[in-house]
Amino acid sequence: MEKNGPSVSIETADHFELRFRIAGIGSRFLAFLIDRTIQVGVLVALFFLMLLILLTGSGFALFGERLVRLVEPLGQWVIALLILAEGVVSIGYFLLFEYLWNGSTPGKRVVKIRVIRNDGRPISFIDSALRNVLRFVDLIGGVYPVGLVAMFIDSRNRRLGDLAAGTLVVEDAGGKAPLFIKNQPRVHQSDQLLKQAVAEMSGEDYDLLSRFLERRNEMDSERRKELAWEIYVRIFNQPGHRPATDGDLEKALDTIANLYRETTRIL
Amino acid sequence: MPQNNAESTHAVVIVGIRDEASQAPVARAVAQVAKNASLEQIEKRIKTLPWTLTKSANSSTAARLVKLLEEAGAVVRVDPPLEEPVVAREAQPDVERAPRAAVEPSAPQPIAPGSGPGIAAERPQEDSWVVSAEALEIGPLTLGGILDRTFQICKNHFWKLIGILVVPWLVIALLSMIVALGFGMFWLAGSFAGAGTEFPWLLLIPALGAAVVVIIVAIAVFYLSQGALIYAVSAIYLGRPFQVLSSYRLVLDKLVRFIFTSALCAFFATMLVVVPILVGVVLFFVSKGLFGSGWWSALTWIPLAIVPTYAIPKLLLFDKVVVLEDKAYFQALNRSWNLMTGKADSPWPAGYWLRFVILMHLFVFINIAISLLFSVPATIFQFLVPESLTTVARVVSQIMSNAGSLIASLFGSVGVVVFYYDIRNRKEGFDLSMLAAASEPRR
């Protein structure tokens, strides 16, 4: 999968280099929308839970009366309390998850990004608090207009909260397994042509071949055949020196890829 | 704990050419990845080496550039040097490798202020030929990836892309102003000449003519700018050079086909809405006749509404097809339909139609955010100015609102082009073909 955006490398005290790819603005926006949906879902669920409690045992007739009795003495403070509650849920959600989940939230997990400190270490509670308190400024209007401008201008896509707290949002590789980790069956290929072609393959030939094999299932069948043929011809570019494929070009390409991996010890 | 936050970027410098015969291949190789430079300009520039092509390539981009340039016959230096990947070292035990001497560790280079550690600053700042990093990183993307790429393109080429989009606004504003001024002055002149304040009906004929001209010009310029934008974003995506004027020029040849294909698409879209409505009306009366109440036909409303909801988005890639694939009319609509049919081999949402619909909704949110940025200050400004300046405030507010719409529309347009290429990468292995073309087999 191709990624977007710049990357940062951070040198640790023992001169070990950590590399991170900066999360794109789009991914961050998507993560925020997912988190916001969860928050709204939780608030709505709480509201209905409250309704249920008020309704239970009293019946619908008494419900309105109870609600009025509950709200009336508070007057306009109700609105203030509701805004406060919404703020607490909004900020508390990010603060808590980012602190407990090593810079991640459910939304960030879905799009595979997380928050780290500028020095590559996990964020602390204070960092999380600082970047999330400033979320109020980034979030004016509810859809991140200020944050969007800040991220658009900053080379590392940082919003105001990130700049203040010294944090970065990076793509989370999450220890992804290599593509060919499975133990492939050994290829006992006696065909000299095949061996020679594989020995002559460049890294880019293999890159092309492996990408094709990885993604062939979502390709249109005609185009899939064409591409398979193009790659085959690229590897065996002399018409007289092509091994028999028994009509199954992709199987031949699979064999070539396996043989190349065996020869070069690529996982 | 000392920390060093450096962008892991490399400068790629052509420091020499192996022999004279290699000059043309090297120029062609640079032309594949350089933007804003013709082949002639590149050939001329190559004669005055060293030439820093980029100061901000990531490792993989730098490695690909080195490979491309070395194969063409250039001697290339990378600052800071690239590490030789283990896999690449082991990959070809018996094959003669391309000379790597060009990627030798070099002496420390002078550092330009603000250019980041280890980045050479040999090329004058005013030289804007920079290798496009986007060019070498195409492939299937997730929804988040499409949004990221959209923002990346808009961020890196903001003013050029806005320049393309702003042209129709300016042309229409100018034309409207000319027409309004012309007729206003004519009317005023008539009033002073004693014609009274009655409406000069004869003025209607040239007014209608002018209105028709303005509408035709507006349509033409609008489609020109849309086409130019599609072309420009495509060029950025593929790492090809583009300029605002050349984008317009390239679309000019296809303008008539573009407008008529758009009209055809609009016709089909209208039919897709009108026909289900008519069917619904007929079903209402049928149901009234059969069951005594027409409201039973409400059961068919949802299936009927599904038809346009499903079909119209499938036609909406037609403009990319017209501009980028040179197909028009039914061919373009058919191609758009085919592209939007099928499923990606990716997590939810997998269907191309659903991906498109979700993407459009995400752009609505982005549009709201951008519009807020402009409308909120405009509204505050309107409240703050004294009453005597209400007209000025209104004009400023309108300009800001238009600017907001313009920028918001940019993101959507760019996003759909990226989405179009994403489908082609997935369904047709378009990126693989590009990769194959960019790196000819060694033998």
Distance CA A191, CA A235 (A): 15
What does the pLDDT look like over A120-140, one tens digit per residue? 888 888 888 888 888 877 776
In chain B, which residues have their Cβ closer than 8 Å to the Cβ of A148?
366, 369-370, 373
Token pair belonging to B442: 């060694």
Q: Taken in order A221, A224, A230, A234, is the CA torsion positive or negative? A: negative
Contact B3 A223 (CB under 8 A): no
Q: Which of A109-123, A141-155, B420-434 has the lowest mean pLDDT?
A: A141-155
**Whole-angstrom Cα Rg for chain A:** 28
What does the pLDDT look like over A215-254, one tens digit per residue? 888 898 888 998 998 888 888 876 666 666 667 788 888 8
Nearest to B94 among A140, A146, A199 (CB): A199
Q: What is the pLDDT of residue A240?
A: 63
Distance CA B369, CA B151 (A): 14
State which residue of chain B sits closest to A119, comparing Cα positions: B3
Long-range contacts of A134-138 (CB under 8 A, 24+ apart): A134/A159, A134/A160, A134/A161, A134/A164, A134/A165, A135/A90, A135/A91, A135/A94, A135/A161, A136/A87, A136/A91, A137/A161
- pLDDT class for B199, splitting at 50, 70, 90? low
Residues 6+ away with beta carbon under 8 Å from B370: A145, A148, B404, B407, B408, B411
DSSP symbols for B350-409: -BHHHHHHHHHHHHHHHHHHHHHHHHHHHHHHHHHS-GGGHHHHHHHHHHHHHHHHHHHH
Of B246, B426, B439, B260, residue with least CA distance to B350? B426
State which residue of chain A sits closest to B435, comparing Cα positions: A208
A34 in B contact zone (CB under 8 Å): no
Long-range contacts of A225-229 (CB under 8 A, 24+ apart): A225/A249, A227/B429, A227/B432, A227/B433, A228/A253
Instruction: Examine the pLDDT at A25 and tell me if it is beyond 80.
Output: yes
Cis before B105 (ω within 30): no
Q: What is the pLDDT of residue B113?
A: 31
**Window 129-148 of B, Cβ < 8 Å to A:** 137-148
Nearest to B436 among A33, A148, A208 (CB): A208
pTM of the model: 0.73
In chain B, which residues have their Cβ closer than 8 Å to the Cβ of A3?
137, 145, 148
Q: Which of A233-237, B4-8, B236-240 has the lowest mean pLDDT?
A: B4-8
Q: What value of ipTM does the predicted structure carry? A: 0.80
DSSP structural state of residue B146: H
Question: By percentage, how much of chain B surpasses pLDDT 90?
Answer: 27
Instruction: Give residue B341's identity as a one-letter amino acid code.
Output: T
Q: What is the pLDDT of residue B95?
A: 31
Contact B369 A145 (CB under 8 A): yes
Contact A25 B147 (CB under 8 A): yes
Mean pLDDT of A66-75: 71
B122 in A contact zone (CB under 8 Å): no
Distance CA A180, CA A56 (A): 58
Contact B148 A212 (CB under 8 A): no
Q: What is the pLDDT of residue B195?
A: 53
- pLDDT class for B320, splitting at 50, 70, 90? very high
- In Å, what is the CA distance from B159 to each residue of A156, B244, B349, B402? 20, 10, 33, 16
Contact A200 B95 (CB under 8 A): yes
Q: What is the pLDDT of residue B222?
A: 92
Mean pLDDT of B333-344: 91
Instruction: Examine the pLDDT at B133 and tell me if it is beyond 70.
Output: no
**Window 127-186 of A, Cβ < 8 Å to B:** 140-141, 143-146, 148-149, 152, 155
- In Å, what is the CA distance from A225 to each residue of A160, A192, B139? 50, 25, 19
Residues 6+ away with beta carbon under 8 Å from B288: B294
In chain A, which residues have their Cβ closer than 8 Å to the Cβ of B60?
none
In chain A, which residues have their Cβ closer than 8 Å to the Cβ of B376?
140-141, 145
In chain A, which residues have their Cβ closer than 8 Å to the Cβ of B119?
none
Contact A7 B370 (CB under 8 A): no
Q: What is the pLDDT of residue A107?
A: 92
Distance CA B126, CA B119 (A): 17
Query: Are β-strands B10-17 and B74-79 bridged in parallel, bridged antiparallel, or unpaired?
Result: antiparallel
Distance CA A47, CA A82 (A): 11
State which residue of chain A sits closest to B363, comparing Cα positions: A26
Mean pLDDT of B335-345: 89
Contact B144 A30 (CB under 8 A): yes
Burial of B430 (0-12, 13-18, 19+ CB in 10 A): buried
Long-range contacts of B34-40 (CB under 8 A, 24+ apart): B34/B129, B34/B130, B34/B131, B34/B132, B34/B241, B35/B129, B35/B130, B35/B131, B35/B132, B35/B235, B35/B236, B35/B239, B35/B240, B35/B241, B35/B242, B36/B128, B36/B129, B36/B241, B36/B242, B36/B243, B37/B129, B37/B241, B38/B241
Distance CA B275, CA B298 (A): 16
Enclosing H/E stretch for A92: helix A77-100
- In Å, what is the CA distance from A130 to each residue of A64, A122, A145, B122? 41, 14, 19, 41
What does the pLDDT look like over B34-48, one tens digit per residue? 766 777 778 777 776
Higher pLDDT, residue A211 or B132: A211
- pLDDT class for B94, splitting at 50, 70, 90? very low
| CA-angle at A245, arms to A243 and A246, nearest 5° | 130
Distance CA A98, CA A112 (A): 13
Instruction: Examine the pLDDT at B217 and tell me if it is beyond 80.
Output: yes
* Residue whose pair of structure tokens reads 């490792």 in the numeric block: B59
Q: What is the pLDDT of residue B128?
A: 30
Contact A199 B5 (CB under 8 A): no
Three-class SS of residue B304? helix
Distance CA B441, CA B443 (A): 6
Phi, psi at A29, each rounded to 5° = -65, -45
In chain A, which residues have their Cβ closer than 8 Å to the Cβ of B144?
24, 26-27, 30-31, 111
* Residue whose pair of structure tokens reads 């009209």 in the numeric block: B263
Burial of B155 (0-12, 13-18, 19+ CB in 10 A): middle
B342 in A contact zone (CB under 8 Å): yes
In chain B, which residues have their Cβ closer than 8 Å to the Cβ of A137?
none
In chain B, which residues have their Cβ closer than 8 Å to the Cβ of A26?
144-151
Across A38-52, B239-253, B323-337, which has the greatest mean pLDDT?
B323-337
Average pLDDT over chain B reads 77
Mutation target among B1, B3, B355, B433 for the A interface, most CBs of A within 10 A: B3
Three-class SS of residue B132? coil
DSSP-assigned beta bridge partners for residue A20? A8
Measured in whole angstroms, how far is the alpha carbon of residue A192 from the centre of its chain? 44
B295-334 burial, b if ≥16 CB within 10 A, otherwise e?
A: eebeebeeebeeebeebebbbbbbbbbbbbeebbeeebbe
Contact B145 A3 (CB under 8 A): yes
Instruction: Examine the pLDDT at B351 and tell me if it is beyond 50.
Output: yes
Distance CA A210, CA A204 (A): 10
State which residue of chain A sits closest to B63, comparing Cα positions: A204
Average pLDDT over chain A reads 79
B88 in A contact zone (CB under 8 Å): yes
DSSP structural state of residue B194: I
Q: How many CB atoms lie within 10 A of CB A22?
A: 25
C-beta of residue A236 within 8 angstroms of C-beta of residue A205:
no
Of B72, B67, B42, B45, residue with least CA distance to B57? B67
Mean pLDDT of B118-144: 49
In chain A, which residues have their Cβ closer than 8 Å to the Cβ of B428?
219-220, 223
Question: By percentage, how much of chain A surpasses pLDDT 70?
Answer: 79
C-beta of residue A251 within 8 angstroms of C-beta of residue A213:
no
Distance CA B412, CA B408 (A): 7
Instruction: Examine the pLDDT at B249 and tell me if it is beyond 60.
Output: yes
State which residue of chain B sits closest to A261, comparing Cα positions: B91
In chain B, which residues have their Cβ closer than 8 Å to the Cβ of A7?
7-8, 58
B437 in A contact zone (CB under 8 Å): no
Of A31, A30, A29, A20, residue with least CA distance to A118? A20
- pLDDT class for B371, splitting at 50, 70, 90? confident
Contact A218 B433 (CB under 8 A): no
Instruction: Give residue B78's identity as a one-letter amino acid code.
Output: V
Q: What is the pLDDT of residue B108?
A: 32
* Residue whose pair of structure tokens reads 């920028």 in the numeric block: B407
Nearest to B137 among A2, A148, A217 (CB): A2
Nearest to B436 among A13, A201, A234 (CB): A234
Q: Taken in order B119, B122, B126, B129, is the CA torsion positive or negative? A: negative
B436 in A contact zone (CB under 8 Å): yes
In chain A, which residues have their Cβ closer than 8 Å to the Cβ of B146?
26
B83 in A contact zone (CB under 8 Å): no
State which residue of chain B sits closest to A22, comparing Cα positions: B7
Contact A204 B58 (CB under 8 A): no
Q: Which of B13-27, B253-267, B277-291, B298-312 has the lowest mean pLDDT?
A: B13-27
C-beta of residue B435 within 8 angstroms of C-beta of residue A208:
yes
Instruction: Examine the pLDDT at B55 and tell me if it is beyond 50.
Output: yes
What does the pLDDT look like over B162-191, one tens digit per residue? 999 998 888 888 888 887 787 777 666 666
